[in-house]
Structure 1
Amino acid sequence: MTSTTNDHYLPRGAFGAGSRRTRLAALMTRLTLRPMTNLLPTSRSGIEFSRRLVATSMNLFGPVPKGTRVDIVGDGPVRGEWVRAPGLTPGPRVILYIHGSAYVICSARTHRGLTARLSSATGLPVFTVDYRLAPEHPFPAAADDLESAYRWLLGQGYTAANIVIAGDSAGGHLAADLLIENDRTGTPQPGAMVLFSPLIDLDFELSARMERTRKDPMISAKAARGLVALYTEGHDADLPRLRLDLALARDLPPTLIQVGGAEMLRGDARRMHAMIDGAGGRSELEIWPDQMHVFQALPRLIPEAGHALEHAAEFIAHALDNPVVQHDSKEKVSR
């Protein structure tokens, strides 16, 4: 089903709505979490509190399934962890996951529940890169760590066509940067890409526009901009590796973008979708009504989380099984 440009005005009866639990979770988050995140300072103590708060929330509402195998990796500049669903057998395909949270807050461990469920849904092992965080490690530390991890996987014997890039939030910006750098250096591009609530505009101007019509339940554009600034501080906002333009890159992988209809990054999702289309790539944009930021990570709160991962798994399987590049672009709103 094709959407109009103003997804937040879509008729509920025609396109479906989030479940009652989803809408209640968004309301409670807006009343409790949003005031806190908007007031927390970007001082060291404020950041540490934010890190503990998010880690606790992710573990509570998206715990790691029993039987998940986790292997920590530290190989030179490459840090991260392998996450494998129970009973997973080795194969030639792999997912490289890039966690989000403004370059400042999360880690491979906070996202272990999400990557474990992604491994289970796809039947693929997931390597989550544990990139260095700001403010301790500002730009381009995170981008460099991701590039090292991608080349490390190639060195481990995985072909680029069998690598899936997946990520959320700031991980979307890092993924786009990786594709541009691959094009610049002549490194083969991955076989597919799946992004959850990707961030592309580090100035948060797109988010501010979205907030004029619907406030994000989790955080304001202003507060999120303050966190990201800890990563970009001291650099020109127009630096090509910060203000990314995917339309300049070639051979982009088929991409699935999922974003919540209640979150401010739906403007960023549309921008990334349009850039991939402009570069001649194939992109599918799913706008999930009433959903919050990276709702896929919160299955205990959000009934639709599992359905979204199933969609992602289907997309990945189809993209890897049908590697011929198709120069078209699709946008749809999912129920």
Structure 2
Amino acid sequence: MAEVGILDETPARRLAALEAQRIVQRIATESGWWRQLADQAIAKIENRLIERILISRLRAGLRAATSEELAEATISKMRGAYTSGQMETLPSFLPRPKYAISNAHGSYLDPASRPEYPARVLYVPGGGFIFPISARQKTMMTRLAEQTDCEVVPGTHRLAPEHPFPAAAKDIAAQFIELTKSGDESPLFLGGDTAGASVVLGALQILIEEQVSPLPKGIILFSPWADLSLSGWSYITKSVTAESPFRMETAAFCARLYLGSHSANDPLASPIFADQDTWPPLLIHTSENDLHFDDAMALAENGLKRNVKVQVNYWDSPRHHLERLSSKDAARSFSEVRSFIEAQLDP
């Protein structure tokens, strides 16, 4: 048998192998060439601005860490501004939500006029494990609900560093179990983006370990952060080439606040190290410039080895988590999610 050299394991060859097996497909941005050039130029400026903002906040956080009282005041102020939308890092061009959060689970429709839905999605938005759900994230979840015709329930969990790993994953697992016992028998999916994806997949492993039945019908992930050890090539290449608004330093800072002294290789924290036996089908959306791109590839490779149904769609977009934008790419992403949900309901 021929030896496998290091060049045979390059990201490009791994990606080509997955594309050949139709596990992964590339989706071209739906806009003219001039629009793409303009979008790329704007994205580069946006990425550099976001990078500077994140680094400045990281420095502020490190300065505040010298005093417990100052650290608590600083993170409380940041969370308040983040929740209101005044301090959100990523710009988001979305319309205002049509519905207000009204019931105990945070669902987006008035229970008095709540129609029947084909499915529900318990969705965990990212916040680096340390920030609560923001106003714009709620708007994005509303669009997800409208375009998939499903009820989207915001997943809420305790925040690091006050409540470190695995508190967040345990909270989402408990919320999932509560929803299964709510009397609503419509199928339930799990979804999440960025750091929320790690929490979602950690919760899934807890549900499997506790032999909860039924498990989620499927898992929907946008730009998933699934490796807190930052071992993928994309963490290096996207940081060095400045193709992503995020850098390894900021990712490492958030991971440390969440993990404390716990190992980043724990599958509950970094699901790329998990045994995916008995996992439900996975739909993963990302972009080729995403800092977490290799995480998506690793999840697909591991799922393939375990006969898990996995589909990865990646865009040639310069945007991180493109679903937050009111764009053709975002609409296509939600359309793919709708098709995925329908396929699980009527295989």
TM-score (norm 2): 0.78
Matches within 5 A, 1:29-108: 29-41=46-58, 42=61, 43=64, 44=71, 47=75, 48-49=77-78, 52=81, 55-56=85-86, 57=88, 61-63=92-94, 65-73=96-104, 80-84=105-109, 89-91=115-117, 93-107=119-133
Q: Structure 1 residue 29: deviation in Å?
A: 1.3
Q: Structure 1 residue 212: deviation in Å?
A: 6.0
CA contact (8 A) 1:81 1:130 kept: no
Q: Structure 1 residue 247: deviation in Å?
A: 5.3
Residue among 139, 142, 145 paired with 1:119: 145
CA contact (8 A) 1:64 1:112 kept: no
Q: Which runs of 5+ in 2 are unaligned?
A: 1-11, 20-25, 65-70
The one-letter code sitting in structure 1 at the alignment partner of 2:218 is A
Matches within 5 A, 1:184-195: 184-188=209-213, 189-195=215-221
Q: Structure 1 residue 308: deviation in Å?
A: 1.2
Secondary structure in structure 1 of the residue aligned to 2:145: helix
CA contact (8 A) 1:97 1:165 kept: yes
Q: 1:234 aligns to what?
A: 261
Cα distance change, pair 226–66 in 1 and its aligned pair in 2 (3 A): closer
CA contact (8 A) 1:135 1:231 kept: yes
The answer to whether the aligner puts 1:157 opposite 2:183 as a matched pair is: yes
Which structure shows the higher helix fraction? 2
Cα distance change, pair 15–317 in 1 and its aligned pair in 2 (3 A): closer
CA contact (8 A) 2:243 2:318 kept: no
Q: Distance in 2 between matches of 1:66 and 1:6?
A: 37
Q: 1:28 aligns to what?
A: 45
Structure label with greater radius of gyration: 2
Deviations 1:4-31 (A, max 9, x none): 5458xx9xxx974574254244212123
Q: 2:308 aligns to what?
A: 281
Q: Distance in 1 between matches of 2:54 and 2:41?
A: 19
CA contact (8 A) 2:236 2:248 kept: no
Q: Structure 1 residue 266: deviation in Å?
A: 0.6
Q: Structure 1 residue 263: deviation in Å?
A: 1.3
Q: 1:145 aligns to what?
A: 171
Query: Which moved further from structure 2: 96-105 or 207-216?
Result: 207-216
Q: Structure 1 residue 235: deviation in Å?
A: 1.5
Matches within 5 A, 1:164-203: 164-188=189-213, 189-203=215-229
Residue among 252, 259, 265 paired with 2:286: 259
Secondary structure in structure 2 of the residue aligned to 1:40: helix
TM-score (norm 1): 0.80
Deviations 1:112-137 (A, max 9, x none): 11110011011111111121111222
Cα distance change, pair 146–200 in 1 and its aligned pair in 2 (3 A): same
The answer to whether the aligner puts 1:220 opposite 2:247 as a matched pair is: yes
Cα distance change, pair 136–15 in 1 and its aligned pair in 2 (3 A): closer
Q: Which runs of 5+ in 1 are unaligned?
A: 74-79, 323-335
Q: Structure 1 residue 157: deviation in Å?
A: 2.7
Q: Structure 1 residue 168: deviation in Å?
A: 0.3
Q: Distance in 2 between matches of 1:210 and 1:320?
A: 39
Q: Distance in 1 between matches of 2:204 and 2:273?
A: 8
Calculate percent identity across the aligned residue pairs. 20
Deviations 1:235-294 (A, max 9, x none): 233334224356524332211100012211111111111222222110000111024221
Cα distance change, pair 283–22 in 1 and its aligned pair in 2 (3 A): farther
Q: 1:325 aligns to what?
A: none
Q: Distance in 2 between matches of 1:177 and 1:243?
A: 8
Query: Which moved further from structure 2: 246-255 or 129-138?
Result: 246-255
Residue among 293, 306, 309 paired with 2:334: 309
Residue among 140, 161, 183 paired with 1:135: 161
Secondary structure in structure 1 of the residue aligned to 2:107: strand
Q: 1:326 aligns to what?
A: none
Cα distance change, pair 118–272 in 1 and its aligned pair in 2 (3 A): same
